[in-house]
Amino acid sequence: MRCRSWTLLSLVLTASMNPMRAQDLRMLRSVSGPSGKVENNKFVFDEVRNRFVYPQDKSFTVYFEWVAPAGMHVLTGIWKQPDGTVATMSPDVKIQAPSRELNCYWTFVLYDGMRPGIWNLEVRIDGQPAGSHPFEIVGPPVSKPAAEPEPAQRRAPTVDDIYRSASPSLVWIYKVDQAGRRTDTASGFVIGKDRIVTAFQAVDACESLEVEFSGGRKAVLKELLAWSRSGDWAVLAVATGSASALEIGKSKDIQVGERLIVFNVEGSGRVIGGIDIAGRQNLSGFGERIQLSPALTAEAAGGPLLDLYGRVVGIIGGSTVPGARFNRRDMSVSPSLWNSLTVQNKATPLTALNFSSEHRPSLLSALLSTGELTAPIHPMPEFLYGGTALAIAKDLAQPASQEVSEFSRKDPQVWVYTMWAQKGKVSKGMISARVYDEQNRLRVTVPPKKVSLYSTPTRSAFSFVPATLNPGVYRIDLIWDNRPAWRTFIRITD
C-alpha cells in the first residue's frame, strides 16, 4: 500500500543552521481540518476536526506551532498507519524562523483503499522529536479484486512523480547580447511538438536567445513565433526533439486558497514545491492574473504552474510592467520600487495563450524596431551613475540631491541626472532621453544635446513636468548616440 502525501511549504522560509537543544523546543499546538488558508503567517482552518471520511474528504491539512530558537531548522513529517508502520515520509522542509515562533503545515491526500483507523503525523525538527498529531481515517473497506475489475480511477501522483515526469519538459531561456554573453536567465516549458512557452519578460529587451534543454542540448534563436507584451507570454519555435509536452489542465478550475505546484530556482538548480493561490485578478489592459504566495525567484519566470496531477494551468510571471526586467547594474531605482517591479508573485492562466499553426515567426530585430520589444541597454564604461530627484544642485561640487523614485502629478518637475567621465577614446556624444508608459508608448522626448567628456566627472541633467502623465509606472531611457545606455523607472501618483 502506498500513502500519498507531501509537504507543501512552510509558512516562513530561508538562512543558516543553528544547533538546538531539546529543552529549547516546545510544541504549542497541532490542528487539522479539511480546508483553510494562510493569514499572517498562520494557517486558519475553515473547519477543525480530526476525523476524515473518504470519499467525502479528498485531502486534509495538519498545522503545527512551536516555540523554538530563531534561525534555520529542518522539519521532517513521518506519516504512520494504525499499526505503527511508516506509510511515507514527507521531503525535508527548511524554515528560516526570524523569531522564536515556528509554524509549518502538511497536506495529506486521501485515496481509495487506505487503511482505516487512527493514524499519526510525527514531526522531527533538526532530527529531534517535535510532537505528533493523531487523526482518524474512515472509508469503505478494501475490496477483493474482482474477476474482471473495473478501470481504476486516476490517483494524484506524488510530488516526486511530478518532478520526474515534468523536468525533461522544462528548458532554460537565456538572453544573449551582441558579444555572445548571457545577460539574463529565465524558464520555459514544452507545450507541443517544436513549441516552447515562456514569459514575455524572458524574451524582452534582447537581440538573441539561447534555449537549453534538460539534457544540455542548446539552440540559438533570433525570432518569436507568438507573444503578448501585456499578457506576459511568448511562444518559441524550436526543435524539441525527444522532450515531451506537458499535459494541459483547466485554468478555470483553480480556486483561491488552493495549493498547486511550481518549479522554483535555488542556486543553479530547479526545486519543486507547493504554492498558495492567494487571489485572482482581471487587470485592465493586462487581462487575468493568478496571485501566488510566496513570491518566486526571477529565474522561475516562464516556468509552468502545475495542478496536483502535474498538468500545466498557468505561466509564472504575469508582469504588469513590461520592460522592467533587465540587468540591474545598468539601472538605478529605489529598492521598494525595484521590488514591486521585479517580484515574481503572479501567473498568467494558460487560457490566455493565443496562437495557431498559421503563425509565422517574427525577427527580434523587427520587433525591436516596431516597439513590440523593449530596446536592450548598451552599457558604457563612461557612464558612472544616475538617478531621479525633485531638484538638483546647480553647483556640481554641492552634495547630490536626495534620490526619489515616486512623484506626484502636482510636483513641479521630475529631474533626471547622470554622471559621466572619459574612460577611453569616447570623448563626445549626443545625449537625449525618452519616457515610456507601461504599454511602451513614448510619452516624453528630451531633445539631444552634445556633451563633451573629461577625466573629471561631468553631469548631464534634464527635467519634465509630470502633470500630463496619468498615475502609473514609467520607464526612462537615457540615450547616447541613439542607443539606450542606462534605464530607470519612476512611479507617478495623483
Spans of all domains in the chain: 5-143, 157-374, 383-493
Q: How many CB atoms lie within 10 A of CB 377?
A: 21
Mark residue 232 as left, alpha or beta (left: phi above 0; alpha: psi -120 to 50; beta: remaining): left
Please give the grid coordinates belonging to residue 194: 517544436
CA pair distance 492, 474, nearest whole angstrom? 8
Kindly indicate the confidence band of residue 118, based on its pLDDT and cuts at 50, 70 and 90.
very high
Percent of the chain residues topping a pLDDT of 90: 67
- Give the distance, in angstroms, between the CA of residue 109 and the centroid of all CA atoms in the same chain: 26
Q: Work out the average pLDDT over 466-474.
A: 94
- 173's enclosing H/E stretch is strand 170-176
- pTM for this structure? 0.65
The pLDDT, as a whole number, for residue 51 is 93
pLDDT-derived band at 229, boundaries 50, 70, 90: very high
pLDDT score of 4: 38
pLDDT above 70 as % of the chain: 87
pLDDT reported for residue 403: 83
Grid cell locating 281:
485578478
Fold of 383-493: Immunoglobulin-like (2.60.40)
The more confident residue out of 393 and 269 is 269
Instruction: Enter the CATH code of domain 157-374.
Output: 2.40.10.120
Q: Is domain 5-143 classified as CATH 2.60.40.1930?
A: yes
C-alpha cell belonging to residue 186: 529565465
In tens, the pLDDT along 425-464 reads 899 999 999 999 988 899 999 999 999 999 999 899 999 9
Question: Could you give the CA distance from residue 256 to residue 293 in angstroms, rounded to a whole number?
Answer: 11
Q: Which amino acid is at 481?
A: D
pLDDT in tens, 151-200: 566 678 999 999 999 999 999 999 998 888 898 999 999 999 999 999 99
pLDDT (tens digit per residue) in 83-97: 988 888 888 888 998
User: Is residue 300 a contact partner of residue 344, using CB atoms and an 8 Å limit?
Assistant: yes
The residues pairing with 488 across neighbouring beta strands, listed in sequence order, are 476
Q: Do domains 5-143 and 383-493 have the same CATH topology?
A: yes
Asked whether 315 and 350 are in contact (CB, 8 A), the reply is yes
Average pLDDT of the chain is 87
Residues 6+ apart with CB under 8 A from 429: 450, 451, 453, 480, 481
Tell how far CA 8 is from the center of its chain.
Answer: 17
